[in-house]
Structure 1
Amino acid sequence: MTTSCAQTATPLQRPMRPEDVPAQTADTSAQTESAETSDENDPRYHVVASAPVSNWLEVQIELARRGFSSGSIDGVRGAQSAAAMKAFQRNNQLRETGDLDAATRQVLQLTDAVFTTHIFSAEEYAVLQPVAPTWLEKSQQTALAHASALEMLAERYHATPGLLRRLNPGIDWENILPGVEVQVPALGKFTTTLRPTLIHVRLADRVLQATDESGRIIVHFPVSIAKIVEKRPVGELQVVVVVPNPDYTFDPVNFPESAEGQELGRRLIIPPGPNNPVGVAWIGLNRPGYGIHGTPDPEKVGRTESHGCFRLANWDALALLSIAKVGMRVVVEP
């Protein structure tokens, strides 16, 4: 199909340390006491089920578990985190402030430990490979796999590389070897029993949502849209194909800015993988060349434009792929 456009889950028994939290995070007073406290009887060192979230890192992790993505998790209340919070508040008949206010604290409860431990494996190490710099060289690779352990784990746990560095200050990421234990956000594969009937893209807000018949939001994701206004397909569309792990057709016609493409003058098939231009999922629409897909650059989603398609972080594209069906309506509004 061509398109155009080993883990453990052992909860950590301590709170996040002050040096692990970005300076801009809000309301971290509950977790900023001395990092040297190590009393195992201290209740702060044990995750209590159904405890209210207490800071924006916990907000991002808990919302992601429920299908409300803030993009790459960094612990900072930015525009994408506020939009995810508003979607959650709408579902729960709360005032849509986008803030972690008192009413939201009562509803948004932690459902699991905030962090878990990932043991980097020999199998994961074996599949890492650099991404070639040119389109021709990319087409000759066996796969466009992750280039580094940091990139792999950041994508798997929906985090910015910077967050993983802060959570694991003792790791030499350039020379990481199998067997190293890494502290990561406690996130797994998204699942839901709800049945979406509509995918809704709001171009002005740069968000994509899937809703059920009653209008309840099942998933909420930040999305990149076409840079050129004329290439934004406003109106009603339909899903015509759902493809996991797609390859990609590089067509120089679509990349007039590429000197290499103009010199090649021919199409190339780019192999699948997370660093493929359309990431790990392709949801094709009934407009030739258009689809919803992943990306190798999750931190750019919602902040930079695409050539025409709707671009999601790979983890969000996979979540959408799991619930999208051929024939599903897609409504795009300005």
Structure 2
Amino acid sequence: MIPTSWRPVCVALLATCLAAQGASARAGKSQKADKAQPPALTAEAVNAAALAQPGTGKTDGTRPDAKARRDKASDEKPDPLIVKAQVLLDRAHFYPGAIDGRRGDNYRHALSAFAVAQGLSATEALTPELWDKLLATSDKLAVTDYTLTEADTAGPYVQRIPPKMEEQAELKNLGYTNPREMLAERFHMSRDLVSALNPGKPLDKAGTTIAVAAVDPMGLDKPKAKDLPQEPKVDRVEVDKSSRDVRAYGADGKLLAYYPASIGSAEKPAPSGETKVKGVAFDPDYTYNPKYAFKGVKAQQKFTIQSGPNNPVGLVWIDLAIPSYGIHGTPEPEKVGKTESHGCIRLTNWNARDLAAHVTRGAKVSFKDD
């Protein structure tokens, strides 16, 4: 029993202890929150990013709770380490889709495919061993400077791309809508990442120097027929409908490139079995046939949508020996691998151009169901 004279002192001490415990708990939570947040996104942070060694308590965020990560991936802030990893994957031809600094499905699947190609176990985590393999592929900076030219800012740009195909057919061309969209696609980036790396910089002013992913920029020129296919030549293409990816192989069976893809839909599922590549068209027009019966399209007559990166099939059409089916680009690169297509195989424009530049006429195309 506490003497009456000591009770005020004990009460005061108890209050002090509880306050200290509360402050300690809040500090602990704050430290955990700080560890969970990636560093500020700058070109310098991306280029200096390094995977923490095991036992440091730090992580790149690729923990086993994959479902929770997928649910929150779109809300994540871009992580400099992930931006760097995505750039390295892109250069190694294991494309992660639009480089965005987030741990989405496309990034994780590309990471796993790269691991297997390197003789490692399949993993969607950026392990020290896998990170070393990535670093060994290139010693160049992950982010570099680019100065906007007069041609970049002049366009011409389309004021708006209407959502309905019938309305798109009324446009003279399906070009980009602004410099940010063009720059994002040229450097394989999401539009949000372009803005995040260049806060406050005018993207419509020639002479502006911005930070971009240091990848092989996507060109808009049409390769000459005599220059196709380029080395290394793609002799076989595998379309995996369950994992939503496309893999390109050489005649010797070597995996040459990995691309995320949107493949078919419930309305028009992708085919099964095998077929062949009939030919390649760069910067194609798109002709809609009422027989396609796409949802939301009411036209009863054929109509044509002019060429351009915002054309329904993007900048490339790789024709398959199955009527009305092909491998093609897209006006929405950030949705590749995340949404359905109208039965065909949809890649980002830069991936479609890459595959088209290397695939041989008559190349075998196989559709893998499970």
Please give the secondary structure, in 1, of the residue aligned with 2:356. Answer: helix
Corresponding residue for residue 265 of structure 1: 300
Instruction: Give 5+ residue unaligned stretches, structure 2.
Output: 1-37, 53-79, 219-228
Contact preservation (8 Å) 1:242, 1:325? no
- Give the direction of change, closer, same or farther, for the CA distance of 1:275–1:111 in structure 2 (3 Å limit): same
Give the structure 2 partner of residue 240 of structure 1: 278
Counterpart secondary structure, 1:200: strand
- 2:216 matched to which residue of 1? 188
User: What TM-score do the two structures reach when normalised by structure 2?
Assistant: 0.72
1:302-321 matched pairs, under 5 angstroms: 302-321=337-356
Tell me which stretches of 4 or more aligned residues in structure 1 moved more than 3 Å: 27-31, 134-137, 189-193
State the distance in 1 between where 2:94 and 2:245 align. Answer: 11
1:172 Cα deviation (Å)?
Answer: 4.5
Q: Work out the CA distance in 2 between the residues paired with 1:288 and 1:56.
A: 40
Higher mean C-alpha displacement, 73-82 vs 289-298: 73-82
The answer on whether the counterparts of 2:236 and 2:250 sit within 8 Å (CA) in structure 1 is: yes
Partner in structure 2 of residue 11 of structure 1: none
What do residues 49-80 of structure 1 show as CA deviations (whole Å, max 9, x unaligned)? Answer: xxxxx822111001101211111111122221
1:163-312, aligned counterparts within 5 Å?
A: 163-172=193-202, 176-189=204-217, 193-228=231-266, 231-258=269-296, 261-262=297-298, 264-312=299-347
* Structure 2 residue matching 1:95: 3-state secondary structure: coil
- Indicate whether 1:106 and 2:132 are aligned: yes
Higher helix share: 2
Structure 2 residue aligned with 1:20? 41
Distance 1:105 1:312 in 2: 26
Contact 1:20–1:163 at 8 Å: present in 2 too? no
CA distance change for structure 1 residues 226 and 193 in 2, over 3 Å: closer, same or farther?
same
Cα distance in 1 between the residues matched to 2:255 and 2:332: 25
Checking the alignment, whether the CA contact within 8 Å between 2:202 and 2:208 is kept in structure 1 is: no
**CA separation of 1:102 and 1:145: change in aligned 2, threshold 3 A:** same
1:79 pairs with 2:105: yes
Change in 2 beyond 3 A, CA 1:195/1:324: closer
Question: SS state of the match for residue 84, structure 2?
Answer: helix
Alpha carbons of structure 1 residues 256 and 319: separation in structure 2 relative to 1, 3 Å: closer
Which residue does 1:55 correspond to in 2? 81
Instruction: Find 1:116's aligned residue among 135, 139, 144.
Output: 144
Provide the aligned C-alpha RMSD in A: 2.5
Query: Alpha-carbon deviation of 1:116?
Result: 1.6
Letter in 1 for 2:215: L
Report the CA distance shift for 1:80/1:245 in structure 2 as closer, same or farther (over 3 A).
same
Contact 1:223 1:302 in 2 (8 A): yes
Rate the CA distance shift 1:132–1:229 in 2: closer, same or farther, 3 A.
Answer: closer
Shift in Å, 1:255: 4.2
Q: Secondary structure of 1:197's match? A: strand
Which deviates more from structure 2 when the two are superposed, residues 94-103 or residues 56-65? 94-103
Is 2:157 the counterpart of 1:128? yes
Q: Kindly, what percent of the aligned residue pairs are identical?
A: 32
Q: Is the counterpart of residue 333 in structure 1 residue 352 in structure 2?
A: no
Contact residue 285 and residue 307 of structure 2 kept, 8 A: yes
Alpha-carbon spacing, 1:156–1:256, altered in 2? closer, same or farther (3 Å): closer
Pair 256,203 (structure 1): closer, same or farther in 2 beyond 3 Å: closer
Structure 2 CA distance for aligned equivalents of residues 140 and 105 of structure 1: 49
Q: Which residue of 2 is the match for residue 46 of structure 1?
A: none
Q: In 1, distance between residues paired with 2:140 and 2:293?
A: 45
8 Å CA contact retained: 1:91, 1:216: no
Task: Name the structure 1 match of 2:14.
Answer: none
Separation (CA, whole Å) in 1 of partners of 2:156 and 2:112: 39
**What is the distance in 2 between the residues matched to 1:307 and 1:189?**
28
CA drift at 1:230: 6.2
Opposite residue 108 of structure 2, the aligned amino acid is: A
Bigger RCO (CA 8 Å, 6+ sep): 1
- The C-alpha deviation readout for 1:57-108, integer Å capped at 9, x for no partner, is 1110011012111111111222211111122112211122122212212221
- CA distance, structure 2, for counterparts of residue 88 and residue 143 of structure 1: 38
The answer to whether the 8 Å contact 1:131/1:145 transfers is no
Letter in 2 for 1:330: V
Contact 1:131 1:144 in 2 (8 A): no
Give the deviation of 1:192 after TM superposition: 7.6
Identify unmatched segments of 5+ residues in structure 1: 1-16, 32-53
Select which of 191, 207, 226 maps to 1:161: 191
Change (3 A) 1:255 1:115: same
TM-score (ref. length: structure 1): 0.79
